[in-house]
C-alpha cells in the first residue's frame, strides 16, 4: 500500500511531464477509437447496404447451386428444415426464394429478367423489399401479379396495372409461360438489379416454373450481423451435407476483399500512431530515469530490494498510461455515441456516387464495445512494454555507479 | 569487547589490466561497538572506496570483511541488499532523502522496508525526531529543509532501522560550519548516550577534532590509527606500573 502511495507521489513529482504523457495517451486513445469505430461503422453500413439489396447476410442452397444456378438445383421446402435452421444460434429469420430467369415482354420489347419467387411477408422482413416500392402496392401471397424493378419497367415501358408476358424454362425442362399484372415498381441502388429484377409470390413462381414445393434458396437474417461469418461456419457443420451454407462474403467476395484491404491500411495508420506515442512515452521515461538515477541508487544502497523498486517504477508508468487511457476511453464513448446518432454526412460528387448505388452517404460510427476494449488493451500493453525499460535499468543498477557524481 | 567491523587485508584495484590504481591497498580495520571513528586522508586516498566495501555496496578484490561475524564478501548481491537494510545505516554527502516524501515519511520508509508495524514506526519516529531536534519539521518535504536539517533527517533515517553501525561518507561536506557542528554534536550525543557506532569520512579538521578515533589513509593504506596509539599508550602505562 505504501509502495502504491509512493508511486502516486512520484507520478506527480514532475506534474507537467506526467500530464503531457497522459495527454499523449489520451489523444492516441481517442483518435484510434474514433478511427476504428468509424472504420467498423462504415464497413458495417456498407455490408448492410449491399446485403440488403438482395443476398442477405447468408443463404442456404442445395449443394452445388451457387456454381450452377439452375432450377434443377432447387430443393423441396420442408418446415422441418426451416425450423432446424431457425433453431441455429444467432439466426433471426429465414425466407425462401425460388429464383430463375425468364424473358419478359410487353408490346414488341423483350428483356431477360431475374425472376424471384418470394414469401412476400418474410422477404420484406429480411431485405426490406416493401420499402423499395416507388409506385403501386406491395404483393400479397395469393396474388398472381408481379413487382418490377424500375429500370426493367422503363425498358419495357410498363407501368402499374399493365400486363407483362413471361416466357421461360421450367423445372425438369417444362415450358413456363404466363401473363402477369404489374402491381408495383421497386427501385434498387444496384444498377444490375434495377435493370433485371422481377418479383412474384412464391406460389405463383412455383406454378409458373412447374416447380411445386421447390425453392432455390433460403435467405437468412441474424440477430448479431457482426457474427454472421461465425454463425455460418457453425451452421456448416450442423447442416446436412446436401445443403451449402454461404455467407455474404462468399457470395460477394469483391466487397469482402475491399473491406479486408481497407482494414489492413487502417492497421498501418494505427500502428504508426501507436509508435509515435510509444516514442513519446519512452522519451519521458528516459528523462525520468536520468533525473532519478542518484535517488534510485540511494534506495538500493540503503536496502530497498530491486524487485520492490521495479514494482514501484512499473506501477508509476502503468498508472500514468492507465489514467490517460481511461480518460481517453471515457471521453471517446460519448463522442462515438454522438457520431452514431448523428452520423457524419458527406456531400458533393462522392455523395452522388453513393446515392446512385442506393446508399445514403452517411458514416455512422460503430458502438461495438470490443472496439473500446481492444484499443484500451493495446494502449495498456504498450505501457507495460515500455515500462520494461526502467525494470531493465534497475536490474543492471549498481548503487555505487549510480551515486557517482 | 564487541567487534562490529573486522576487515582483513582488503584491497581494491581499479583498471587492473591497464594502469592499476590501488584505491585500497591491504587494509586491516577493526571497529568495536560504540566507537566514534573518523576516516581521514587527502582526496583520492581511498576513503569512499573503503567505506563502500565495509557498507557492502562494493566488493573488495582481496580480503574479507566480517560484520558481527558474518563475512559479507560471501553474500550474493540480493543478500547484500537485505543485509544492508538490517545491519547498516547510511548517511551520504547529499540527496539522502526521497524528495516526494516528508521528513517523517523518509524516516518511516526504511522501517516500512523492514515491515515494521505502524505503531513501531510512530514511536521510533517520535524518539528520533526528538533526538535530532526536528519535531517541528516532521511534515516538511526535503526541499523545504536546510542542508543541515536534511542531513539530520538522514541520520534519523540511518538509525531508524536499528543498524549495527552507521557509515557516513563526508556527511558535513556540503554544510556551513554551524550546521556541520550541529550535525556532529547530534552524532556524538547519539554515540555517547545510545552507544551508536559511527564510522565517517571527512576532510574537515574541525570534524576530525571531535572524533574519538582517527584513521588516516594515504594512497589506499592506513598510515595512522589513533586507536593503536592509545592502545600503545595504555600498554606503556601498564608496563610502567
Ligand atoms: N570507478 C572508478 N574507476 C577508476 N578509478 C576509481 C574509481 N573510483 C575511484 N577510483 C580511484 O580510486 C582512488 C580512491 O578514490 P576514492 O573515491 O575512494 O577516494 P576518496 O578518498 O574518497 O577521495 P575524496 O576525498 O575526493 O572523496 C582514486 O584514485 C580514484 O581516482
Ligand atoms: Mg570520497
Round to whole Å and give the CA distance between B191 and A103.
114
- Segments making up each domain of chain A, as ranges: 2-51+256-403, 64-240
Burial class (CB in 10 A: 0-12, 13-18, 19+), B231: exposed
Look up cell 454522438; give the residue: A338
List, for residues B56-93, the tens digit of each pLDDT value.
999 999 999 999 999 999 999 999 999 999 999 999 99
The reported pLDDT for the residue numbered A358 is 62
- Whether B205 is in the pocket of ligand 1, judged by its Cβ within 6 Å, is no
Alpha carbon distance B77, B56 (integer Å): 9
For residue A252, give the C-alpha cell: 460477394
Closest C-alpha to A365, from A383, A349, A347, A342? A342
CA distance B39 to chain A (A): 19
Q: Which position has the higher pLDDT, A387 or B153? A: B153
3-state secondary structure of B215: strand
Q: Provide mean pLDDT across the span A254-282.
A: 83
Q: How far apart are CA A380 and CA A401, in angstroms?
A: 33
Q: Do A400 and B58 touch (CB under 8 A)?
A: yes
* B48 Cβ closer than 6 Å to some ligand 1 atom: yes
What percent of chain A clears pLDDT 90, i.e. is strictly above it? Answer: 41
Hey, what's the cell of A106?
Answer: 410487353
Show the cell assigned to A57.
Answer: 447476410
Q: Which of A305, A311, A307, A314 is nearest to A285 (CA)?
A: A314
* Residue-wise DSSP of B148-207: HHHHHHHHHHHHHT--SEEEEESTTTTS-HHHHHHHHHHHHHHHHHH---EEEEE--HHH
> B236 burial class (0-12, 13-18, 19+ CB within 10 angstroms)?
exposed
- Atom 25, ligand 1: residue with shortest CA distance: B43
pLDDT digits (tens, 9 = 90+) for B171-185: 999 999 899 999 999
* pLDDT reading at A352 higher than 90: no
Instruction: Find out whether A156 and A105 touch, Cβ atoms under 8 Å.
Output: yes
Residues near B19 by beta carbon (within 8 Å), at least 6 away in sequence: none
Q: What is the mean pLDDT of residues A41-69?
A: 85
8 A C-beta contact, residue A194 and residue A158: no
Distance, in angstroms, between A382 CA and closest chain B CA?
27
- Work out the mean pLDDT of chain B and round it to a whole number: 91
Q: How far is CA A302 from CA A299, A399, B19, B53, B71, in A?
A: 5, 9, 32, 14, 19
Higher pLDDT, A265 or A68: A68
The pLDDT of residue B229: 61
Q: Which of B92, B208, B157 is nearest to A399 (CA)?
A: B92
- Supply A51's cell numbers: 446485403
Is B101's CB within 8 Å of A9's CB?
A: yes
Residues whose Cβ atom is located within 5 A of ion ligand 2: B 48
Nearest CA in chain A to B108: A2
Task: Confirm whether pTM is higher than 0.95.
Answer: no
Phi-psi region of A378 (alpha: psi -120 to 50; beta: other; left: phi over 0): alpha
Are residues A400 and B98, on separate chains, in Cβ contact within 8 Å? no
Closest-CA residue to A189 (of A124, A127, A111, A125): A127
**Which range, A342-356, A373-387, B124-138, has the best average confidence (pLDDT)?**
B124-138
Specify the pLDDT at position B238.
Answer: 54
What pLDDT sits at residue A355?
Answer: 66
Asked if the model's pLDDT at residue A273 lies above 90, the reply is no
User: pLDDT value at position A261?
Assistant: 83
* Rounded-to-integer distance, Cα A98 and Cα A142, Å: 16
The pLDDT of residue A11 is 87
With a cut of 80, say whether residue A350 has pLDDT above it.
Answer: no
Q: How far is the CA of B47 from the centre of ligand 2 (A)?
A: 6
Decide the pairing of beta strands A243-247 and A163-169.
Answer: unpaired
Does the pLDDT value for residue A356 go beyond 90?
Answer: no
Sorting pLDDT into bands at 50, 70 and 90, what band is A394?
Answer: very high
Beta-carbon count within 10 A of A258 CB: 13
Question: Which of residues B52 and A56 earns the better pLDDT score?
Answer: B52
Q: Is the CB of B89 under 6 A from ligand 1?
A: no
Please tell me the distance from the alpha carbon of residue A50 to that of residue A359, in angstroms, as a whole number: 9
Say which residues have a Cβ less than 8 Å from residue A4's Cβ, sequence separation at least 6.
Answer: A315
Strand A217-222 with A58-62, pairing: antiparallel
The two counts, helices (H) then strands (E), for chain B are 8, 10
Query: At B14, is the secondary structure helix, strand, or coil?
Result: strand
Across the interface, whether the CB atoms of B90 and A302 are under 8 A apart is answered yes
From B94, B112, B236, B99, select the one nearest B169 (Cα to Cα). B94
Helix (H) or strand (E) holding A332: helix A306-341
Please say if the pLDDT value at position B235 is more than 60. Answer: no
At residue A401, the 3 state secondary structure works out as helix
From the DSSP assignment, how many helices (H) and strands (E) are in chain A? 16, 14
What is the structure's pLDDT at B38? 95
The answer to whether A252 and A243 are in contact (CB under 8 A) is: no
Is the pLDDT at A210 greater than 90, yes or no? yes
Residues B62/A274, Cβ–Cβ less than 8 Å: no
Output the nine-digit C-alpha cell for B44: 583520492
| Residue nearest to ligand 1 atom 14, measured at CA | B46
Kindly give the number of the ligand 1 atom that is closest to the alpha carbon of B170.
27
CA torsion sign for B166, B170, B175, B178 is positive
Position of cell 457453425? A234
Share above pLDDT 70 across residues of chain A, in percent, rounded to a whole number: 97
Alpha carbon distances (Å) from A71 to A101, A209, A214, A243, B88 = 9, 9, 9, 15, 94
User: Residue B52: its chain A contacts at CB < 8 A?
Assistant: 400
Q: How confident is the model at residue B40 (pLDDT cuts 50, 70, 90)?
A: very high
- Local confidence band at A56 (pLDDT 50, 70, 90 cut-offs): confident
β-sheet bridge partners, residue B14: B21
Domain positions in chain B: 3-240
Cβ neighbours for B188, distance < 8 A, ≥ 6 positions apart: B36, B210
Mean pLDDT, chain A, rounded, equals 88
B12 CB within 6 A, ligand 1: no
How much is the average pLDDT of A174-203? Answer: 91
The residue whose CA is least distant from atom 16 of ligand 1 is B46
Overall average pLDDT of the B217-230 stretch: 85
Cell 506501477 maps to which residue?
A315
Across A37-61, b (16+ Cβ under 10 Å) vs e yields bbbbbbbbbbbebbbbbbbbbbbbb
Dist CA A325 CA A277 (whole Å):
12
- pLDDT score of A166 more than 70: yes
Name the CATH architecture for the domain at B3-240: 3-Layer(aba) Sandwich (3.40)
Amino acid at each position: 500500500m505504501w509502495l502504491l502511495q509512493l508511486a502516486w507521489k512520484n507520478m506527480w513529482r514532475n506534474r507537467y511531464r506526467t500530464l503531457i504523457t497522459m495527454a499523449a495517451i489520451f489523444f492516441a486513445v481517442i483518435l484510434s477509437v474514433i478511427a476504428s469505430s468509424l472504420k467498423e461503422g462504415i464497413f458495417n453500413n456498407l455490408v448492410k447496404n449491399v446485403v440488403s439489396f438482395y443476398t442477405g447476410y447468408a443463404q442456404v442452397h442445395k449443394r452445388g447451386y451457387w456454381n450452377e444456378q439452375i432450377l434443377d438445383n432447387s430443393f423441396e421446402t420442408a418446415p422441418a428444415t426451416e425450423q432446424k435452421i431457425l433453431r441455429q444460434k444467432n439466426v433471426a429469420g429465414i425466407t425462401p426464394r425460388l429464383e430463375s430467369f425468364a424473358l419478359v415482354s410487353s408490346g414488341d420489347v423483350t428483356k431477360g429478367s431475374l425472376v424471384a419467387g418470394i414469401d412476400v411477408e418474410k422477404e420484406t422482413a429480411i431485405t426490406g423489399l416493401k420499402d423499395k416500392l416507388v409506385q403501386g402496392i406491395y404483393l400479397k401471397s395469393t396474388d398472381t401479379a408481379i413487382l418490377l424493378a424500375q429500370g426493367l419497367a422503363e425498358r419495357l415501358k410498363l407501368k402499374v396495372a399493365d400486363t407483362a408476358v413471361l416466357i421461360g424454362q421450367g423445372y425438369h425442362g417444362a415450358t413456363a409461360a404466363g401473363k402477369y399484372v404489374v402491381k408495383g415498381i421497386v427501385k434498387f441502388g444496384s444498377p444490375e438489379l434495377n435493370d433485371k429484377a422481377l418479383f412474384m409470390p412464391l406460389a405463383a413462381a412455383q406454378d409458373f416454373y412447374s416447380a411445386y414445393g421447390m425453392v432455390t434458396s433460403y435467405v437468412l437474417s441474424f440477430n448479431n450481423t457482426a457474427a454472421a461469418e461465425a454463425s455460418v461456419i457453425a451452421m456448416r457443420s450442423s447442416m446436412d451435407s446436401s445443403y451449402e451454407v454461404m455467407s455474404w462474403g462468399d457470395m460477394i467476395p469483391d466487397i469482402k476483399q475491399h473491406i479486408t484491404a481497407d482494414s489492413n491500411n487502417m492497421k498501418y495508420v494505427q500502428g504508426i500512431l501507436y509508435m509515435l506515442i510509444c516514442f513519446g512515452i519512452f522519451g519521458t521515461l528516459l528523462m525520468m530515469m536520468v533525473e532519478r538515477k542518484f535517488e534510485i541508487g540511494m534506495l538500493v544502497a540503503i536496502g530497498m530490494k530491486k524487485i520492490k523498486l521495479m514494482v514501484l517504477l512499473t506501477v508509476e508508468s502503468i498508472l500514468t498510461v492507465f489514467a490517460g487511457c481511461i480518460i481517453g476511453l471515457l471521453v471517446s464513448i460519448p463522442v462515438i455515441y454522438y457520431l452514431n446518432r448523428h452520423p457524419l454526412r458527406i456531400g458533393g460528387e462522392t455523395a452522388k456516387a453513393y446515392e446512385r448505388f442506393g446508399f445514403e452517404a452517411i458514416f455512422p460510427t460503430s458502438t461495438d464495445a470490443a472496439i473500446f476494449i481492444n484499443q484500451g488493451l493495446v494502449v495498456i500493453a504498450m505501457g507495460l512494454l515500455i515500462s520494461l525499460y526502467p525494470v531493465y535499468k534497475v536490474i543492471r543498477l549498481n548503487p555505487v555507479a549510480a551515486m557517482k557524481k | 569487547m564487541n567487534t562490529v567491523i573486522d576487515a582483513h587485508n582488503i584491497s581494491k584495484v581499479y583498471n587492473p589490466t591497464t594502469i592499476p590504481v590501488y584505491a585500497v591497498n591491504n587494509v586491516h580495520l577493526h571497529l568495536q561497538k560504540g566507537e566514534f571513528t573518523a576516516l581521514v586522508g587527502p582526496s583520492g586516498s581511498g576513503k569512499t572506496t573503503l567505506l563502500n566495501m565495509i557498507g557492502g555496496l562494493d566488493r573488495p578484490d582481496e580480503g574479507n570483511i566480517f560484520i558481527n561475524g558474518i563475512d559479507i564478501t560471501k553474500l550474493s548481491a540480493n543478500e547484500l541488499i537485505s543485509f544492508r537494510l538490517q545491519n547498516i545505516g547510511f548517511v551520504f554527502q547529499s540527496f539522502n532523502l526521497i524528495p516526494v516524501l516528508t521528513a517523517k515519511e523518509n524516516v518511516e520508509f526504511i522501517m516500512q522496508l523492514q515491515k515494521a508495524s505502524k505503531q513501531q514506526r510512530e514511536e521510533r519516529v517520535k524518539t528520533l525526531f526528538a533526538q535530532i531536534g526536528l519535531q517541528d519539521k516532521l511534515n516538511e518535504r526535503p526541499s523545504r529543509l536546510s542542508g543541515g536539517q536534511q542531513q539530520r533527517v538522514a541520520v534519523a533515517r540511518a538509525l531508524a532501522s536499528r543498524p549495527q553501525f552507521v557509515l557516513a561518507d563526508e556527511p558535513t561536506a556540503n554544510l556551513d560550519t554551524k550546521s556541520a557542528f550541529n550535525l556532529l554534536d547530534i552524532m556524538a550525543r547519539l554515540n555517547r548516550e545510545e552507544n551508536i557506532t559511527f564510522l565517517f569520512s571527512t576532510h574537515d579538521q574541525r570534524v576530525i577534532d571531535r572524533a574519538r578515533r582517527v584513521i588516516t589513509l594515504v594512497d589506499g593504506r592506513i598510515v595512522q590509527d589513533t586507536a593503536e596509539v592509545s592502545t600503545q599508550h595504555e600498554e606503556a602505562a601498564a608496563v610502567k606500573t
